Each structure stands twice: as structure tokens, then as C-alpha cells.
Chain A
Amino acid sequence: MVRTKGTRILIFSFLVIPVIHLLVFSYIPIVSNVFLSFTDYNGVTTPNWVGIRNYKRLFTDPQYIKLFKNCMWYMIVAIPQLIFAFVLAIFVNGKFRGINFFKGVLIVPYLLNGVIVSTIFIIFFNNSGTFNSLLRFSGLGGLAQQWLHNLRLVNPAIASISIWRYYGLNFIMFFSALQAIPTELFEAASIDGSTKWQEIRYISIPSILHILFINVLLSISGSIQVFEIPYIMLNGSNGTVTPVIQIQQSAFSENRVGFAAALSILVFIIVVIAVSIQKVFDKRWTLYD
């Protein structure tokens, strides 16, 4: 309990700067964004109230509806990504020779930054790049093409990079959840004469289902915030613009800050929904603490 004036001063002085930082760089901006999203603010002159015009454009103009369609690709690739991470976590969980080597290599892509990953995959998807070379090498040369310039394939192609880049994060989450399962459960199963497959099917998988669910929602909120790969690789060209690239272009190149604010709020709402669902279920589904 606070006893003296001295303690109150200590509490105040320890909190004041971080709280001000929080208000100035998180809360004030998000609240002002709500206000700006109903205006035609251009970053310089006084904003005029335009009602829901910005939102109306976002929901009716095909150019902007496409932004969210592009995000769908990133959500779709999250499915193989999660399965891949899940399978690896199951296999790495255990004691075997070389475990640290595998744990090390598997996490590397997650540690590389967007510019590095983009360069790697420009080389990968180029006409004479890695993917086409591999296709030709394995007799599938007929499928080889300009992946980044085919307007129908460019979005799924660059979205699939997320599998390579982010599965490591999902893997770590699954793996640490598996490690947290009490060993007594496995011992009990072992006494009852269960097989490895039964152990995975009836103990491991049910125990980390809630982590799977968290990962799904994490992927949804990540998909809506995609920026780096399409921006660095293609600068949003060939129809690869995502909501965050559009926010950046509208706000900082076209001076349509009001419109960018509306788009920001839309992204914000989607993230809030995804994170809220995750938090609610996280509390209900946690089996072990």
C-alpha cells in the first residue's frame, strides 16, 4: 500500500514517461484516426467533414475491394503453413540425434528481414530463377512462367512466401506447447500399452488444439497487415496492393490522409475482432497452466 508522499512520487515518476509515450504514439493517433476517417484531410489544410464517404468508397470501389481480396490469399496459405508447422513440431518433440541442428535450421527463415526474404524470392520466382529451373529440371518445364508478371498467379505466388517465412513462428508455438504437456500423461498411456500414433492422436493433438486456434487467429490478423513482401518485391504493382500498402500510398504519396485513416480504422477493426476472439477462447481452452 502507498504509505508516504515519497512513494507516490516514485510511482508517478516511474510511470509518467512510458504512459505519455503510450498516449501520444498509440491512443491519441487511433482516436484521431477515427475522427480523420470522416474527413477529407490532406495533411496540410484544415480537414472538412465528409461523413461516411471514405468508407463508402472502400466498400464500393472495386480497386479497394481488391485490397481485401488480396489478403484472402495470405489467409489461404496459412492453412498449409500451420499444417507444416504442426507436423514438424510433432516430429521434433522427442529425444533424438541432431535435434538442435534441426531446431536451428527450421527457425532461420523467421529471423530474416523482409528485404532479405524478398530478394531470395525474387531470385526464386524470376523467369530464369530457382523455381522455374527446378521445374525444368524435373521435366515440368511446361509449367514454368513469369510468376511475378502473371496477373492471375502473382498474388498466390507471393502469398505462398509467407509459408516459408512464418511457419517457424508457428512451429515454435506448437513445439513449446508440446513440451508443456505433463509427461505423466504419456507415461500413463505407455503403461496402458499405447502406440506412438495413439499418443499423438489422443494426447499431443488435443493438448495443443487451443494453440492451433491462436495460430489461426494470429494468421488472420497477420494477413490483414501484410506489407513488406509485396511492397519490397513489386512496390504493389501487378495488382498486389494490400491495405497497408494502400494506407502508405494514400497518406504519404497522394496526401489523402482522411481516406488512409478510414482504411486504417477498417484494418484496426478486423485486428480487434481477431485478437478478441483469440483472447476469449484462450482463457476457455487453456488446459494446463
Chain B
Amino acid sequence: MISESKFYKILRYVVLIAACVFVIIPVMPLVFMAFKTGVEYTTTSVLTPPENWFNMYNFKYAIRVGNLGKALLNTTIILVISLTIQTIFTTMVSYVLHRFDFAGKKLVHILFTLTMFIPVVTTQTVVFQIIYRMGLVNKMLSVILLYSGVNIIGIYIMLNQLNSIPKDLDESALIDGASYLRIYWGIILPLLKPACTTLVIINGIGYYNDFYIPNLYLRKDVQTFTVALYKFFGNTATPFEIVAAAIFLGIIPIMIAFIFLQKYIYYGLAGAIKS
């Protein structure tokens, strides 16, 4: 890199700080609101900070009324099961596509690739009918089932990693008498761990944030966290400072995940898009 002029250095900070202000300004009133009392909410401006930053009343109320604890548990169950199934299946498909030649290999590859042309929103008219006939509407299993599919981004991430696992490793294990299943389970799967982590993080964030699918399939008492937050909107009787508190709670898990996984998220998102 060439040395940057002083002007450029200053300009950089001016632009980046302005961008941070742009990010933070809309969020700030929500954070303020979550700590305000009902009276404060109606009497103060949205830009005024709360009087008492330790006012937990709204949070307690939101958790109780919105059943947020149960909703978070549901989301956790859905995420754990579907991400596990999806990741295992993705490694299996990728292993077979990378290490073997067989009739129909091209077709399988094309089938997975072309799914990127089929947005989820354009198939739900029919998928709903299928899920309905399976008797899964309003059951967590519907969302788990839809989330468990193998997608092409996952396959690309795995194929990339498989390129760096030498085939000699498989061959020598084979000579030692190991079966392909053993090679997959004992050699390939452990070495695919970094790719699996990336996949779990990207899809985990996507599924945690997803609204479309759970809103469509979980319409009654079983709710995911996102849908539970949404239900606050339907109930106009709920004071808005309570809604703000609920939403604030919704931001926390994603912030925790982000602080610990920032590196992966950057690397993963960039990698996912590139492929």
C-alpha cells in the first residue's frame, strides 16, 4: 500500500464515524424506550434518554406476556436439529460429489446448483399444500423439515475444503482395509470441521432471523422467537415501551453471537457470496 496522505486519513475517520452515526441513530431511541416507564414514554421525546437505566419492568413484562422464554427454546430446538441434519447431509453430498465418479453425478450437481434460481417465496403455494397434507402445519417439524435441506452454498463451502484434503489420505486408509463409510466418518468428517463451522454460523444466523417460513407454518401456539416478537404488533393493547423492551431482548442473542464469531461471520459471508 502506498502511504496515505494526512488528508485521506482524516477523511477516512470523518466518513466512518458518520457511517456509525447513521447506523446507531435509528437504534438509539429503541434502546432508550426499552428502559422508560409508561409515563416517560408519553411525555418525553424519543431522543431523550431514560431517567433510570436500571428500570427492568418492561423486560419482565415482555418476557411474561410474549412467552419469550418458550419461544427462544423453540427456536433453539429448531436450530439445533435442522442445522445438525443439514450439515451432516451437506458433508455427505459433497463427499460423494468430490471423491467419486458415477452415472448421474453431473445431473445431481446441476439439480443442486439450479436451486439458486428458485426463491423460497415462489414455491410456498405448493409447499404449503405438501406440508399441510403431511399434517405438519403448526408443528415445529414443518420448519425443521424445510430448514434441513442441503443448499448449494453449503456444498460449495464443503467442496472448497475437500480440495485441500489430499486423496492419498483416503487411499492409504482404503489399503489398510477401511470402508468408504469409515473413511467418511473417521477421516473426512473431522477434517471438514472448519467448513461445517462456517456453514452452521451462516445458516444459523439466517434461520434465527428468518420470519417468512415460521410465520407461515407456525401460526398458533408454537412460535419461534422472531414470530413471538412479531405477535407484539398484532396486539395493540401492548404498550409500545414493552414492545421496545421485547425487541431489545431480540437483539441481544445476535449481538452475543456476533461478538464471539465476528471473524467467522466476515469470512463466511464473503465466502458464501463468492461461491
> Does the CB pair A21–B150 fall under 8 Å?
yes
| 10 A-B pairs with the lowest CB-CB distances in the bound complex, closest first | A113-B209, A29-B126, A176-B270, A29-B123, A190-B2, A14-B92, A264-B122, A18-B150, A268-B122, A115-B229
> Does the CB pair B92–A225 fall under 8 Å?
no
Is the C-beta of A55 less than 8 angstroms from some C-beta in chain B? no
> Does the CB pair A120–B27 fall under 8 Å?
yes
A22-B111, A123-B30, A133-B46 given; A11·B100 CB < 8 A: yes
> Does the CB pair A33–B4 fall under 8 Å?
no
- A sample of 27 cross-chain residue pairs with beta-carbon separation below 8 angstroms, ordered by A number, consists of A2-B100, A6-B179, A11-B96, A23-B111, A25-B123, A26-B118, A29-B125, A29-B126, A30-B118, A36-B125, A43-B129, A94-B1, A96-B12, A98-B16, A102-B20, A120-B27, A123-B244, A164-B23, A196-B2, A227-B212, A228-B212, A247-B125, A257-B129, A261-B125, A264-B123, A264-B125, A271-B119
CB within 8 Å of A: which B251-268 residues: 251, 254-255, 258, 262, 265-266
CB contacts (< 8 Å) of A88 on chain B: these are 15-16, 19
What does the 1/0 interface line of A70-101 toward B look like (CB < 8 Å)?
00000000000000100110011011101010
CB distance from B4 to the nearest CB of A (A): 5
Is the C-beta of A275 less than 8 angstroms from some C-beta in chain B? yes
> Does the CB pair B29–A129 fall under 8 Å?
yes
Is the C-beta of A144 less than 8 angstroms from some C-beta in chain B? no
Which of A56-64, A104-112, A147-155 touches B?
Answer: A104-112
> Does the CB pair B126–A114 fall under 8 Å?
no
**Which chain A residues have a beta carbon within 8 Å of chain B's beta carbons?**
1-2, 6-8, 10-11, 14-15, 17-19, 21-30, 32-33, 36, 43, 84, 87-88, 91-92, 94-96, 98, 100, 102-109, 111-116, 118-121, 123-124, 126, 128-130, 133-134, 137, 164, 169, 172-173, 175-176, 183, 186, 189-190, 194-196, 199, 221, 225, 227-228, 232, 244, 247-248, 251-252, 257, 260-261, 264-265, 267-268, 271-272, 275-276
> Does the CB pair B149–A21 fall under 8 Å?
yes
Rounded to whole angstroms, the CA-CA distance of A196 and B10 in the bound complex is: 13
| Complex: chain B residue closest to A102, CB-CB | B16
A14-B96, A29-B130, A36-B126 given; A22·B119 CB < 8 A: no
Indicate the member of A1, A123, A244, A267 with the most B CB atoms within 10 Å.
A123
A25 CB contact (under 8 Å) in B146, B243, B247 = B146
> Does the CB pair A123–B125 fall under 8 Å?
no
CB contacts (< 8 Å) of A272 on chain B: these are 117
Rounded to whole angstroms, the CA-CA distance of A102 and B13 in the bound complex is: 10
Rounded to whole angstroms, the CA-CA distance of A30 and B116 in the bound complex is: 13
A244 CB contact (under 8 Å) in B15, B121, B130 = B121
Besides A10-B181, A225-B121, 14 more A-B contacts (Cβ < 8 Å) are: A11-B100, A15-B108, A25-B146, A30-B123, A91-B15, A111-B254, A113-B211, A114-B209, A172-B266, A173-B273, A186-B1, A190-B1, A261-B125, A271-B117
A21-B148, A30-B123, A94-B1 given; A14·B95 CB < 8 A: yes
